[in-house]
Amino acid sequence: MSKLPQKARVVIIGGGAVGASSLYHLAKAGWTDCVLLEKNELTAGSTWHAAGNVPTFSSSWSIMNMQRYSAQLYRGLGAEVDYPMNYHVTGSVRLGHSTERLLEFKRVAGMGRYQGMNLEVLSPDEIRDKYPFVETHDLTGALYDPYDGDIDPAQLTQALAKGARDMGAHIERFCPVTAARWTGSEWVLSTPKGEIRAEYVVNAGGYYAAEVGRMFGRRVPMMVMSHQYLLFDTIPELEAWSKEAGHKLPLLRDVDSSYYLRQEKMGFNLGPYENPCRAHWATPDDPMPDDFSFQLFPDDLERIEWHINDAMDRVPLLAKANLQKVINGPIPYTPDGNPLIGPMPGVPNAFEACVFTFGICQAGGAGKVLAEWVTEGATEWDMWSCDPRRFTGFEDHDYCVAKGKEVYGNEYAIHFPHHVWPEGRMKKVSAVHDKVAALGAQFGPYNGWERALWYARPGDDTSEAAQKTWRREGPWFAAVKAECEAVRDACGILDLPGFSRFRLQGDGVADWLAEQITGKIPSVGRLGLAYFADEKGRIITEMSVARMGENEVLLITAATAQGHDKAWLERDLPAGITLSDETEGWSTQILTGPRARDVLHSASVDADLSKPWLTWQKAKIAGSAVILMRVSFAGELGWEIHSPVQVAPAVWDAITTAGQAHRLRPFGMFALNSLRIEKGYRAWKGDLSTDYTVLQGGLERFVDWSKPAFRGKASLAAEKQAGVEKRFVTLRVNAGDYDPPYMSTLWHDGKVVGETTSGYWGHRVGACLALGMLRADLTEPGTKLEVEIFGQRVPAEVLEDAPAWDPANARLRA
């Protein structure tokens, strides 16, 4: 019997499919001095009762990458590690009941094609060719995925574990971690078998991840759902068909009715995602047990009765089957349904690979991503969708439960671009929230902060149902057009709570920051945009930099970037320089448009409104001290008005009162999105991500090659010398009724040549615009392309390398 090692480079806590995959991929990366600790037997948690479906489908580019990698890995894993595995690649048929669902299918098929997968959209008449037992009379079509299938979760986990062991990694079963302490250089983990020291730790605790996290001082944002699936006995007709066809039926998903139906041997496996649904271990009278290994919840068929009946109507053959067994087990959920993979926020040398709702289909890709995080400090694909730092601490227990139930109950729901999910709202509100709401604001959350999306007028449909459309012209369209025109012709005001802001102070702060960014540090009294690159020259983030003094800099970044950007700044922060997170203490209002100077002149007696673009100053509004920054993300003359939270209402009142004589109008985030795309301004984790380098992003004007050193300089210099393979472009698109979604494919002469990173209607230019990445030899202005939007290729043209609106920035500088 092996003995627990005293030291390891990495210790993984949790022996499910994800933990085993993480160990396997670390070993493949050459880190064989790694140990996995499991409190019971491998697969004892969610992996044990998982259904084992392996889809590639996702509306998320990064998660599709991860699931595609898993499916590819599993095909050859058994042979690679010499372990028997039941992996059935059956394909799947995903049914659609509406036009909107078919558009989603067409979008995902385009994404899959770009990733090398041939997903097929079927007409109702073609569905029975793939699945002969289904009723199709009320369907609009289906998506056929030939790569879908199912795998035995226990065999998968054991195969990954064997592969890891064969490469030298160690697995210790029946060895729970009971405590953890940080010595300043390594972790010491206590177990019943003794202590083990580790350079890095990984929380792969599954539905016990919150308990594991507490040992590291981390509150993991998660909850646990009860999920049931039903196993039915052999059906003679299905057995006869399978023997004649020589294969199993494709997995059937009726996503609009919210269940999957899979052939299991010669019977069926039915798995519904019902709404209302059931959370477990969420209340004091239902505490989480110390150990739930290889256990299930009691059956609760009443709450899924509708789904059972609907499935029998859809596939009448199911009604002939005898129910054999009910599996009702715990599945963990984060508030957005995506797992946690990456650095553990606020904890040194610690990572998370946990809270997987679909752990079997994602385990392979998750192990790859986790291993890259640990061994390289970065991932091949931009994985912000799963980064633990996307949650910033406001997500309390009630929030996690409400959002987890919402995600589960809408597991197969379409994620429309203008739809706002209703649960977990009003966690963080602006100091002027009530004033904004009284003007008709329709809100949406950004890192929990409620921001106005658009301002409804009398008669506008503000129902949630009206938001569920792919079409550009929803009930907000005319209102947003009016908001944009007000910014263009007079002025607008946008309440913008939640800007992440960090103050850096200390001797040498400018010199240190200069090494972190690609460009120049502004002089005192000035501000500018700064881009942070990683060692490979890829875009990490964008921040506004205001030079407050010789040894003081204020950094302002996106609300959703708070945890990410703070961690990036802190990782190399030298002694003598302090970082203060001042996000909660400040409010921001954007005043912009050709009449903005007139409004400010009336509202402030001491502001110097002749100061040029990209300067800041202190001033008073309504007797309160504020900071005015001469900058506008809307691309018009404008200022950001930064004020302490407590004086924000008085500032708002003063500005709006002064604005009455100048046709001031409030505007929201939908209008800002339109305005910024017309200026070619990039959005974080869309246009700006580690999927692209700074040079590919068209940001060379923000690179100061004369600096002796900055992070990523060598890689960017090498890329420049070799030639940039793809470049940022702005496109004018004949888009019809739909704007191009993120990652819409660009075509030229029948070949895929790039992708969009954002797209929206530009109300000032009266056209649909898209920002994207295009093969470098096609970026000449006037080049004709096609953009694939929901399966249809529409004409597009490359515009000049300048903003589509006000290309000389004359209005900004006015």
Q: Tell me what pLDDT residue 706 has.
A: 97
Model confidence at 769, pLDDT cuts 50, 70, 90, reads very high
3-class DSSP assignment, residue 637: coil
> Which two three-digit tokens encode residue 718?
């090498």
Flag whether pLDDT at 473 surpasses 60. yes
Residue-level pLDDT at 699: 98
- Render pLDDT for 166-178 as a digit per residue (tens, 0 to 9): 999 999 999 999 9
**Cα-Cα-Cα-Cα dihedral sign, residues 716, 717, 719, 720:** positive
- 329-361 confidence digits (pLDDT tens): 999 999 999 999 999 999 999 999 999 999 999
To which residue do tokens 């508030």 refer?
335
Asked, as a colleague might, if the bond just before 276 is cis with ω within 30 of 0, I would say yes
Other CB atoms closer than 10 Å to residue 585's CB: what's the count?
A: 11
Classify burial at 797, counting beta carbons within 10 Å of its beta carbon; exposed 0-12, middle 13-18, buried 19 or more.
middle
Distances (CA, A) of 520 to 539, 571, 576, 724: 16, 21, 22, 22
Answer for the pair 340, 209: CB distance below 8 angstroms, yes or no.
yes
- Residues whose CB falls within 8 Å of the CB of residue 664, separated by 6 or more in sequence, listed in order: 486, 490, 491, 492, 493, 595, 599, 655, 656, 658
Burial group, residue 132, by CB count within 10 angstroms (0-12, 13-18, 19+): exposed
In sequence order, what are the beta bridge partners of 557?
Answer: 500
Q: Is the pLDDT of residue 2 over 80?
A: no
Q: Is the pLDDT of residue 602 over 90?
A: yes
Average pLDDT over residues 449-475: 98
User: Taking each helix axis from N to C terminus, what angle separates 61-81 and 99-114, rounded to the nearest 10 degrees?
Assistant: 60
Dist CA 378 CA 597 (whole Å): 44
Q: Which of 359, 261, 337 minimizes the C-alpha distance to 304?
A: 261
Please report which residue ranges of 595-636 form alpha helices under DSSP H: 596-603
Side-chain half-sphere exposure of 274, counting CA atoms within 13 A: 24
Cα separations (Å) of 466 from 140, 205, 419, 469, 475? 21, 40, 8, 7, 7
Reference 591, options 536, 506, 655; nearest CA is: 655
pLDDT at 297: 95
Q: Which of 355, 367, 412 lies closest to 67 in space, CA to CA?
A: 367
Count of CB atoms within 10 A of residue 775's CB? 17
Q: Beta 259-264 vs 267-272: how paired, if at all? A: antiparallel
Cα–Cα distance for residue pair 707/512, rounded to 1 Å? 12
The arithmetic mean of pLDDT across residues 739-765, rounded, is 97
Sheet of 624-629, strand order? 616-621, 624-629, 638-644, 586-592, 491-495, 664-666
Q: What is the mean pLDDT of residues 693-704?
A: 98
Q: At what angle do helices 17-28 and 359-376 cross, to 10 degrees?
A: 40
CA trace torsion 201, 205, 211, 215 (10° rounding): -10
Q: Across residues 195-199, what is the average pLDDT? A: 98
- Between CA 720 and CA 594 the distance in angstroms is 39
Mean pLDDT over each residue of the chain, to the nearest integer:
97
Per-residue pLDDT, 745 = 97
Q: What is the mean pLDDT of residues 473-496?
A: 98
Residue 487: pLDDT band with limits 50, 70, 90: very high
Confidence at residue 540, expressed as pLDDT on a 0 to 100 scale: 98
* pLDDT tens for each residue of 656-670: 999 999 999 999 999
Q: Give the pLDDT confidence of 512-523 residue by residue, as tens digits.
A: 999 999 999 999
d(CA 528, CA 303): 56
The reported pLDDT for the residue numbered 803 is 96
Distance CA 564, CA 455 (A): 31
The predicted pLDDT at position 517 comes to 98
Nearest to 58 by CA among 768, 742, 756, 750: 742
Distance (Å, whole) CA 332 – CA 224 = 4
Q: How far apart are CA 570 and CA 119, in angstroms?
A: 43
Place of tokens 């079927």: 122
Sheet holding 578-581, edge to edge: 527-533, 539-549, 552-557, 500-505, 578-581
- Residue 189 is given by DSSP the state E
Asked if 697 and 728 touch (Cβ cutoff 8 Å), the reply is yes
Question: What average pLDDT does this structure show over 94-117?
Answer: 97
Sign of CA dihedral 81, 84, 86, 90: positive
User: DSSP labels for 100-139?
Assistant: HHHHHHHHHHHHHHHTT---EEEPHHHHHHH-TT---TT-
Beta bridge partners of 762: 767
* Stretch 727-732: mean pLDDT: 98
What type of residue sits at position 493? I
Where do we find the tokens 């019997």? 1
- CA 302/CA 295 separation, integer angstroms: 21
**492: which residues sit within 8 A by CB, 6+ positions away?**
483, 486, 590, 591, 592, 593, 634, 664, 665, 666, 667, 671
**H-state helical runs in 561-620:** 562-570, 596-603
The two tokens of residue 80 are 């690679």
3-state secondary structure 415-437: CCCCCCCCCCCCCECCCCHHHHH
Please give the pLDDT value at position 54: 97
Q: Tally Cβ neighbours within 10 Å of residue 34.
A: 29
Using CB atoms within 10 A of its CB, is residue 370 exposed (0-12), middle (13-18) or buried (19+)? buried
Does the pLDDT at position 1 exceed 60? Answer: no
How do strand 279-280 and strand 92-96 relate by DSSP bridges?
Answer: unpaired
Best CA proximity match to 87, nearest among 451, 303, 442, 360: 360
**pLDDT tens digits for 233-260?**
999 999 999 999 999 999 999 999 999 9
Residue carrying the six token digits 């790039």: 754
What is the secondary structure of 454-499 as a DSSP string?
EEPPTT----TGGG----S-STTHHHHHHHHHHHHHSEEEEE-TT-
Distance CA 39, CA 707 (A): 52
Taking only the tens place, the pLDDT of each residue in 365-379 is 999 999 999 999 999
What percent of the chain shows pLDDT beyond 90?
A: 99
Residue owning tokens 């007139």: 598
pLDDT, residue 21, reads 98
